[in-house]
Amino acid sequence: MRHLHVSLLLLLLVSARIGCTAHDATFLFWNVENLFDCSHDTLRRDYEFLPDGSHHWTPWRYWRKLDALSRTLAAVAEEDGGWPVAVGMAEVENDSVLRDLCRRSPLRMAGYEYVHSEGPDERGIDCALLYQPLRFRLLHTTAHRIDTHGRFRPTRDILCVTGILDGRDTLHLLVVHLPSRAGGASASTRYRREAVRVLRHVVDSLGASKILVMGDFNSGPRDALFRRLCPPLVSLMPQRRRDLRRAVGTYVFQRQWSFLDHMLVSPSLSGMVVGGRAEPVRLPMLLDENGFPFRTYQGPIYRGGVSDHLPLRLRLANNNPE
């Protein structure tokens, strides 16, 4: 019955969406916390997320997670009056899980297409993008490799997806997931610095285009890394210490909120940002009893939640409604 309810909601929403392009454009970024399938990839260290692995990642748990992701996107669509135009994702294992999400889960009613970059990360977690082909006409995609030169573990590619938004504007969407803080934030900074160097090169190559960068940077808004990106980009995250202390972020560590996930835009796009900021999505289904992100796992212990990160939402104003 619950699956039927979700499917009917998705169908009603997508039916209302057909032929309507006058509302604002919503974009999400979401680190979906280890979205693995249940099969072993012989080229990756995915042993934890197998039915007989330490996390006992069974088909039931897998499909339950896909259902929760679908319900979250449906709830965002209900709030915003239409499906998110694009959803950047981190920690996606392969295109098989994207195919299951877009074609076999309740989200199939929404008509999403997807782009995936198969990077060299040892665990096999990559960046991906879901997009609405009715509003975002795909032109081309590129994946930018971060050469570690053997100094640190291979990391995720930077995914760049270019398309036409609402038949008018060329928009470049960059999805990133910078190296983690494993080994300590300070010790791992140089790895993220190298990834940002590549990211800055990609941004510079796009010139004065309309650009949206979204991703898990594993760094706070005041980190020195962002001085390498802003300018030319404009950060849509809180900057002042006072604002950060008061803000509810996208991730919790030791019961303290932080912003590890970020959105940045080119100056040509910044004037279209509704409210001037990107904001976390705080739906009840995404929060635990303490009001923190409802995780799928706490270490090897199955919690049954959606993700240890909240989605980050950006709305771009439609300045030329039909």
Domain CATH number, residue 233:
3.60.10.10
Asked if the structure places residue 247 within a domain, the reply is yes
Asked if the structure places residue 98 within a domain, the reply is yes
Number of domains, the chain: 1
Q: Which two tokens stand for residue 242?
A: 């006072």
Asked if the structure places residue 105 within a domain, the reply is yes
ω into 232 cis (within 30 of 0): yes
Asked if the structure places residue 7 within a domain, the reply is no
Domain with 96, as residue range(s), is: 23-316
Q: With CA atoms as reference, report the closest residue to 171 among 313, 73, 31, 272.
A: 272
Quote the radius of gyration of the chain (alpha carbons, Å). Answer: 19
Cα separations (Å) of 200 from 162, 207, 269?
Answer: 17, 11, 17
- 220/213 Cα distance (integer angstroms): 15
Asked if the structure places residue 174 within a domain, the reply is yes
Asked if the structure places residue 321 within a domain, the reply is no
pLDDT tens digits in sequence order for the chain, 322 residues long: 444 455 445 544 544 443 344 479 999 999 999 999 999 998 899 999 999 999 999 999 999 999 999 999 999 999 999 999 999 999 999 999 999 999 999 999 999 999 998 999 999 999 999 999 999 999 999 999 998 777 778 899 999 999 999 999 999 999 999 998 776 667 688 889 999 999 999 999 999 899 999 999 999 999 999 999 999 999 999 888 787 788 889 999 998 999 999 999 999 999 999 999 999 999 999 999 999 999 999 999 999 999 999 999 999 998 654 4
Asked if the structure places residue 12 within a domain, the reply is no
- In single-letter form, the type of residue at position 128 comes to A
Asked if the structure places residue 13 within a domain, the reply is no
DSSP letters spanning 78-134? HHHTS--SEEEEEEE--HHHHHIIIIISGGGGG--EEEE-----TT--EEEEEE-TT
| Sequence-separated (6 or more) residues with CB below 8 Å from residue 5 | none
- In single-letter form, the type of residue at position 319 comes to N
Considering the entire predicted model, what is its pTM?
0.92
Q: With CA atoms as reference, report the closest residue to 237 among 281, 277, 282, 280.
A: 277
